[in-house]
């Protein structure tokens, strides 16, 4: 093979999450009382449109999680040697975006650099002017034709995207007629998204749609690569947060007494420690460990990934207390419900009461809290990277983009597009997650549906 699969620690955790999600989906499908709330979610147009947008982010993140190392050319009959650079399937699919780097800054859809340089004109004279880009708009000999070319390529790409959207909806629904408001919403959203993606894809082949940064990298490529980092921090952290918050919160509320006192003491002390200082200390300790054991992390990708995993671990250890408090309070209330009291009177074991009566009625709190925490964690990564204790500087993320844009905003003329791109992608991701979380809460909250889960 000309490549070898390469699994990072964060990749393994993502695969573990996918396996856990598959098992959970299989479990839910076999139980009607658990499947019913998800059917309510499926009937919500807002939820399905939000899920459609989130699915695009998840697809990009998953493709960027499938890593490999390419084989280097063999010389003198030597054995096969693989490149130290770790690439992903996503990198292969968007190869031109990754490899077409310019000299420095350029505006979106620009044909020239953003700053003047000393260049030679046709007569050999040295003049101060804006040099042409090496790749952006290189197919145009006349700069005045750029606007017409942009419109033409956008229309062609958007038209192809529209056809793909119509075809995909027809294949999934068997008809282009929408039988419900939810179907109409998904239909319109699908057409808008496919048209927009088609137009951007066709333009990105020959233009830097969102400009370039200080070292000439395509900002669209950086924004898309940042999705994986944000998704990992927002989801892998739940591997730490959810078990601690669920078991400790429900145990404190149900058993009360000394169990409740110990758990309250633990999360009260942990909440008293400034989380930013704890995260900074742990990240710096991890960086020192990497420096002392450099032979364990012989690749730059391994070093950056180790810091990312440790950051997820520390964020999980510092963010479970809020959900634990919510679950404790809700369990204290549910424990006094008549059907719980009746189950205890009939001698039903505590384990069965917790799994059959308590947990189904706190599931809406868990889901809404996790999705809201996902949004907060994505934003937290940006803040931590801004102060220098987030992900490794070599790892592309929204935080590192914003941190770099901090200096770019202060120059004259101002470089605004890198910050705008990071803000726009984060806004769409967080907004879609929050809207989906609201729909899930409405579907799972027993009080909003008029009944308590007594199954």
Q: At what angle do helices 238-255 and 9-29 cross, to 10 degrees?
A: 50
Question: How many Å from the N-terminal Cα to the C-terminal Cα in the chain?
Answer: 54
User: Using CA atoms, how far apart are residues 197 and 216, in angstroms rounded to an integer?
Assistant: 23
Residue 454: predicted pLDDT:
42
pLDDT for 156 equals 94
Contact (Cβ atoms closer than 8 angstroms) between residue 375 and residue 430: yes
Residue 68 phi/psi, 5-degree rounding, is -160, 165
Residue whose C-alpha is closest to residue 401's, from 378, 382, 376, 427:
382
Q: Tell me the domain boundaries of the chain.
A: 219-435
Please tell me the class of the 219-435 domain: mainly alpha
Which of the residues in the chain have pLDDT under 70? 1, 75-79, 173-182, 445-455
pLDDT the model gives residue 59: 93
Quote the CA–CA distance of 88 and 7 in Å, as a whole number.
10
Tokens linked to 111 = 């044909």
pTM value > 0.75: yes
Nearest Cα neighbor of 213 from 129, 106, 62, 68 is 106
Residue 210: closest CA among 229, 193, 225, 230: 225
Q: Give the Å distances, CA to CA, from 227 to 65, 95, 331.
A: 11, 17, 36
What is the rounded radius of gyration, in angstroms, for the C-alpha atoms of the chain?
A: 26
Task: Say whether the peptide bond before residue 92 is cis (omega within 30 degrees of 0).
Answer: no
CA distance 148 to 28: 53
- 218: three-class secondary structure by DSSP: strand
- Residue 177 has a pLDDT of 60
- What is residue 352's three-state secondary structure? helix
Structure tokens at 117: 């340089």
Residue-wise pLDDT tens digits, 243-269: 888 889 988 888 888 888 898 888 888
Q: Tell the residue number behind the tokens 């990277």, with chain if given.
A: 385
Q: What is the pLDDT of residues 21-38, one digit of tens each?
A: 888 888 888 878 778 888
Cα 1 vs. chain centroid, distance in angstroms? 31
Query: Could you tell me which of 349, 307, 354, 298 has the C-alpha nearest to residue 330?
Result: 354
């Amino acid at each position: 093979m000309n490549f070898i699969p390469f699994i990072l620690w964060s990749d393994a955790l993502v695969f573990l999450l996918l396996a856990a999600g598959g098992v959970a989906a299989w479990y839910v499908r076999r139980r009607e009382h658990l499947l019913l709330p998800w059917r309510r979610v499926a009937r919500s147009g807002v939820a399905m449109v939000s899920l459609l947008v989130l699915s695009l982010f998840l697809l990009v993140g998953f493709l960027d999680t499938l890593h490999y190392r390419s084989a280097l050319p063999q010389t003198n009959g030597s054995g096969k040697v693989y490149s130290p650079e770790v690439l992903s399937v996503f990198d292969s699919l968007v190869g031109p975006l990754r490899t077409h780097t310019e000299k420095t800054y350029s505006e979106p859809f620009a044909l020239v650099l953003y700053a003047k340089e000393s260049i030679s004109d046709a007569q050999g004279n040295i003049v101060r002017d804006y040099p042409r880009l090496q790749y952006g708009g290189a197919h145009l000999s006349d700069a005045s034709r750029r606007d017409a070319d942009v419109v033409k390529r956008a229309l062609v790409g958007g038209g192809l995207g529209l056809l793909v959207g119509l075809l995909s909806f027809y294949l999934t629904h068997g008809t282009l007629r929408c039988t419900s408001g939810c179907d109409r919403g998904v239909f319109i959203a699908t057409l808008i998204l496919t048209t927009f993606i088609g137009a951007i894809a066709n333009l990105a082949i020959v233009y830097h749609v969102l400009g370039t940064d200080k070292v000439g990298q395509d900002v669209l490529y950086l924004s898309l690569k940042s999705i994986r980092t944000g998704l990992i921090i927002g989801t892998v952290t739940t591997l730490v947060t959810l078990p601690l918050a669920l078991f400790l919160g429900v145990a404190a509320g149900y058993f009360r007494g000394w169990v409740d006192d110990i758990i309250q003491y633990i999360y009260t002390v942990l909440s008293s420690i400034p989380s930013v200082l704890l995260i900074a200390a742990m990240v710096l300790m991890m960086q020192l460990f990497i420096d002392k054991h450099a032979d364990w992390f012989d690749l730059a990708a391994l070093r950056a990934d180790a810091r990312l995993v440790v950051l997820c671990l520390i964020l999980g250890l510092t963010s479970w207390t809020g959900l634990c408090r919510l679950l404790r309070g809700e369990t204290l209330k549910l424990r006094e419900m008549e059907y719980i009291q009746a189950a205890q009177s009939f001698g039903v074991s505590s384990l069965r009461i917790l799994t059959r009566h308590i947990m189904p009625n706190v599931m809406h709190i868990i889901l809404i809290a996790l999705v809201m925490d996902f949004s907060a964690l994505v934003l937290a990564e940006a803040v931590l990277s801004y102060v220098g204790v987030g992900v490794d500087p070599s790892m592309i993320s929204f935080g590192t983009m914003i941190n770099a844009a901090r200096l770019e905003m202060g120059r004259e003329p101002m470089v605004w597009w890198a910050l705008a791109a990071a803000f726009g992608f984060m806004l769409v991701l967080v907004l879609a997650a929050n809207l989906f979380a609201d729909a899930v809460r409405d579907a799972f909250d027993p009080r909003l549906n008029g009944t308590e889960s007594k199954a």
